Structure formats: structure tokens, C-alpha cells
Amino acid sequence: MASSANEDVKGSTGDEGHNSETKDEEKKDDSIFECNICLDTARDAVVSLCGHLFCWPCLHQWLETRPNRQVCPVCKAAISKEKVVPLYGRGSTKQEDPREKVPPRPAGQRTEPEPGTSFPGFGFGDNSFHMSFGIGAFPFGFFTSTFNFGDPRPAAAAHGTHQHMEEQFLSKIFLWLAILFLTWLLMA
Amino acid sequence: MANIAAQRIKREFKEVVKSEEVAKCAIKVELLNDNYTELKGEIAGPPDTPYEGGNFVLEIRVPETYPFNPPKVRFITKIWHPNISSVTGAICLDILKDQWAAAMTLRTVLLSLQALLSAAEPDDPQDAVVARQYKENLEMFQLTARHWTSMYAGGPNVNTDCDSKIKRLVDMGVDDHQALVALSSYNWDIERATEQLFS
């Protein structure tokens, strides 16, 4: 069983680009430059600070698989994308950082939205005018907050929804609080 | 199957076949299909344990995302061990779950499983009944595990007392595995085992 499988292995590794018929002793020499993940000779080689060699695409995929637990696949030391060292051999023509290259990844990647650009409404434009009271040290503050100059706000909740009722209720409470506060100011 | 997974299994397979553990007959791997997704593993029970002399067969399934995710391994040979289900053979071992690392190989997994057989973790059990017995009555656990090894893994230590108890239950019309499970679960107390089987 074992020997027949061995022949099968040798027969089907021709696409790797290096001779699989080499002798075992030569292979032993090679194996110190093997990637610890794919076990092939490392391409776009990078070294972790703990000294372990990987292909960049392999290590990248490992780090992507476990974003919360970024550890060295060999010794489980903490590693990160920023703290690996690219290796440039003399023969390599391209001197670009292998880390710049992002290997082909499985589908379903998504990028996080940039914060702050996803407010649904922008002031007057789309039916989302807000009334609000404000009392500042400067009396004009009252007007600026009332007329809402240039201040992006979230859209009001749709009519009839629970949230709409709540908002109405809250705005009434604050209106009465403001009136009470004003009268207290005048009386004092 | 993803190319990297098949390539790696091919290389690992060669590594295991050549390794000194195979020479010592401690571990063994066989391919079950041509695309390297299913394998059969075999480990020898470690010396000075109740599993000594037994051969334990494992089912190894290689996921498409291997080696970034661990292979799925379970015991096919029935075994009495706190971290291995006596019913399904499911294994509770951290490196087969969240502690997996991409540089681990079939060889290291099999050696880790062998180490698990010598050093059980009853505080992180897969089989609660076995773990309780291990903690409360270690001698009884060892006797039971040794008997399971002799029945299912070809172990040499046949306990005639256990055998005769099983035979008595089999004579009552119980399946021999059921009889073994009931007796093992009740510390070889034949009355309680009978009660449980016929209630």
C-alpha cells in the first residue's frame, strides 16, 4: 500500500517546477528552505521574528484564517503581518516586498465601511428637518440649533412606527423641560 | 479539493511512511481514496498504559481548507478514555480544534493522539462517564480500559472475571457491546448493569 502510494506521489508532482526525482540526500538539503505551511520550497519567502520560514501567500492565508489568534504556525509565538521579514535571494529579479502582493483569496471577502460616511440623511435635502431647542451662553445658539445649519443628522423615523411615537414623546418632554427651564430663568 | 491541501497530504504521507515511528510500528497511515481527502490512521497503545499492546484505528478526513484548518479525526476502534467518546469515537483534543497550527502534520497529530492515550485530561472530558470513573476510581478505570483494549484493539490482557460477567449478560440475551458498556459504566457491578439494561 505504502509503496504504491509513493509512486503515485512521485508521478503527480511534475507541475511544481522542480525535479521530484532527486535523491533523498539532496532533498534533505532543500528542506531547510521549505515553507512550514505548504512544505514546498518557499516562494515569496518571508521569515517571522521567531525565525520560521513561510511562503508569503501561505502565511497570509493562515493569518486571514485566524484573525483573532495570530500565532506562528510552528512555535505559536505572536506574529503579525507587519512584523515579518521578506527574504530576497540574489537570483530574484524583482526586489519588491513580497508582502505587497495579496494572494488570490476565496470569495466572500468584505471590507469594513469607513466610519462617518454612512449617515442616512443630510439636513434639509430629504425630508428630515429637525427641530431642536438649545440654550447656550450666546443667544444666537438658540437659532443656529433651531435652523440646523449644515449639521448632518440621522433621518427621522417613519410615521406610525414605534420609534416615531417614542421620538415624538421624547421631543414633547424636552419641549416642556425647556419651557420650564426658561420660566425658571425669568422668575429667578 | 484545493490544490494546496492535496499537495501537502502527498508530502506528509511520504514523511510518515519514511518516519522512524513507522519503523517502530508506533504509527501508520493509509490512503483510502485517490484525492487524498480520506485516510486511515493507526496508532499503537503506548507502553505502561492500559492501552499497551492494542492497535487503534483512526478515521482522518482532510478538509479543503487544510492545512489552515485541522483534519477531522475520530477513533474507529472502540476505546475507554476520558477524552474520547466511547460511543462515537469523537476526540477532545485542543490541537484538533482551536489550538491547531498550520505547521502540524499527520505525523504530529498521530503522535499527539498517542500522547493523549498516556496522559488523559479528565477535567476536560469528552466522555463524562469515563472521566468520572477515572477521577473516582482510577484502578477500576485502568481495568476497564485494559479490557476494552483486549476486546477491540487486540490487546493481550484478557480479564477472565470481566469476560465471565459479560458472558452472563450475553446469556440473558444482551448484545456483547451493550453488556460491556453497561458493566463499564457501573464499575463492573453486574446487578446494577442488569438493572440498567432491563429497565
Question: Length of chain A in residues, anyone?
Answer: 188
Q: Cβ contact (<8 Å) for B65 and A65?
A: yes
Give contacts of B17 with chain A, Cβ < 8 Å.
Answer: 2, 5-6
Give contacts of A70 with chain B, Cβ < 8 Å.
Answer: none
Contacting residues for B127 by C-beta, under 8 A, at least 6 apart: B81, B82, B83, B84, B85, B86, B87
Would an 8 Å CB–CB cutoff place B101 in contact with chain A? Answer: yes
Starting at the edge strand that comes first in sequence, how are the strands of the sheet with A53-55 ordered?
A: A53-55, A45-48, A84-86
Cα torsion B49, B50, B52, B54: sign: negative
What is the residue-wise DSSP string for B105-159? Answer: -HHHHHHHHHHHHHS--TTS-SSHHHHHHHHH-HHHHHHHHHHHHHHHS--S---
Q: How far is A60 from chain B (nearest CA, A)?
A: 11
CB pairs under 8 A between A and B: 52
For the question of residue B162 being annotated catalytic, the response is no
Q: How far is B176 from chain A (nearest CA, A)?
A: 33
Q: Cβ contact (<8 Å) for A6 and B103?
A: no
Residue-wise pLDDT for B39-49, tens only, equals: 999 999 999 99
What is d(CA B125, CA B117) in angstroms, rounded to the nearest whole number?
A: 13
Starting at the edge strand that comes first in sequence, how are the strands of the sheet with B72-75 ordered?
A: B27-31, B38-44, B55-61, B72-75
Residue-wise pLDDT for B45-61, tens only, equals: 999 999 999 999 999 99
Locate the domains of chain B by residue range. 3-118, 128-198
What is d(CA A46, CA A86) in angstroms, rounded to the nearest whole number?
A: 4
Residue-wise pLDDT for A11-67, tens only, equals: 444 444 444 444 454 555 567 788 999 988 888 888 999 999 999 889 998 998 888
Count other Cβ atoms within 10 Å, centred on residue A142: 13
Judged against a pLDDT cut of 70, whether residue A145 lies above it is answered with no
Q: Indicate the CATH number of B3-118 among 3.10.110.10, 3.40.50.720, 2.60.40.10, 3.20.19.10.
A: 3.10.110.10
Chain A: residue whose CA lies nearest to B22: A2
Residue-wise pLDDT for B151-178, tens only, equals: 999 988 888 999 999 999 999 999 999 9
Q: Cβ contact (<8 Å) for B102 and A69?
A: no
Question: Hey, what CATH class is A23-91 in?
Answer: alpha beta
What is d(CA B106, CA B112) in angstroms, rounded to the nearest whole number?
A: 10
Residue-wise pLDDT for B87-117, tens only, equals: 999 999 999 999 999 999 999 999 999 999 9
Locate the domains of chain A by residue range. 23-91, 140-187
- pLDDT score at A119: 52
